Amino acid sequence: MICNGVFEGGGVKGIGLVGAVCAMEDAGYKFENVAGTSAGSIVASLLSVGYTGREIKDEMIKLDFSRLKGQTLLTHLGLPGKAIKLLLKNGVYDADYIRVWLEALLHKKNITRFGEIRAYHTHGHDSKYRFQAIASDLSGSRMLVLPRDLHVFGLAPDKFSIATAVRMSISIPVFYEPYILTDSDGKSHVIVDGGLLSNYPIWVLDNRKTNPIIPTFGFKFSSSTSEEPRQNDYNSVLSISDFTKAMIRTLLDAHDKHYISVSRGDFQRTITISTIINKNDKEHDISSVDFNISTEDMEALFDNGYRSAEKFLRTWDFDKWKRQYRNETFRTAS
């Protein structure tokens, strides 16, 4: 069974996405077109070049997450050095380790450029490529869908590096140095994490103008033990720490929550993965930047993703979904 997949950003929590992918593949699904933001773009890019979920898991388990905080001489000087690095580079850590790691994995499949993953069957979206990543252009105050929007910079999408597009998408503001992209006029654009504008871009693979031939599934995280997607949630803001966390959460989630709340059927095709794991008989919520995550915690997140997808597929009915959210719309419009 062919399907499309859209993967939310989530830093080190990305292994949970891989668990859900494995459950989908075990159920007979194969991903045709994929998209993602930040960590979701890593998973999506690897699927687009032919990796299976199990292969991605094996590579992630071997990954040294402590090196994701790319250290420099300044960051080794502690807080003062990190403050100087932030002032000089607009980011504390270097993200090149992730790019180099991903580039090596792409080379194993002999696919490194977008021109090598052209989409011959788009199934309801207008991209020419099987993989798309979301990034944020701070200089241009706009969202970027890569590689589609590379023409804005005078760049040829076919020749553009897949790993570089992912590097743009994962550039968590302040935490990582932004990626600097130079346009055809010689102007430098500061590119950061796509989650700033759309952390869950399920809209990118569905133009809503055609009745879909194959399903598009979304894979999203939740800091709840419930595996059901939530349209509304509430977080108390009682301290400066709460305020900061709430502000970041709103930046990452507000656009996508609004989109899902007014869209037809997106909630019903979203597989929600809990980031809560049981650790020493206590519930523990895995953070996106928990780079000291243990192998055991990674396995627990993977299992959360696998179970979530299994549960979702027990009641999923594509024909029923189309009758409820699409077929009637197209009959009315015709």
Q: What DSSP string runs through 161-222?
A: BHHHHHHHHT--TEEEPPEEEE-TTS-EEEEEEGGGT-SS-GGGG--SSS--SS-EEEEEEE
Candidates 94, 137, 193, 256; catalytic one? 193
Residue 306 and residue 312 in contact, taking contact as beta carbons nearer than 8 Å:
no
H or E segment to which residue 256 belongs: helix 240-262
The conformation of residue 291, written as its DSSP 8-state character, comes to T
**3-state SS, one letter per residue, for 57-121:** HHHHHHCCHHHHCECCCCHHHCHHHHHHHHHHHCEEEECHHHHHHHHHHHHHCCCCEHHHHECCC
The answer to whether 38 is a known catalytic residue is: yes
Handedness of CA 123, 128, 133, 135 (dihedral sign): negative
Amino acid letter for position 307: R
Candidates 38, 198, 222, 308; catalytic one? 38
Q: Annotated active-site positions, please?
A: 38, 193
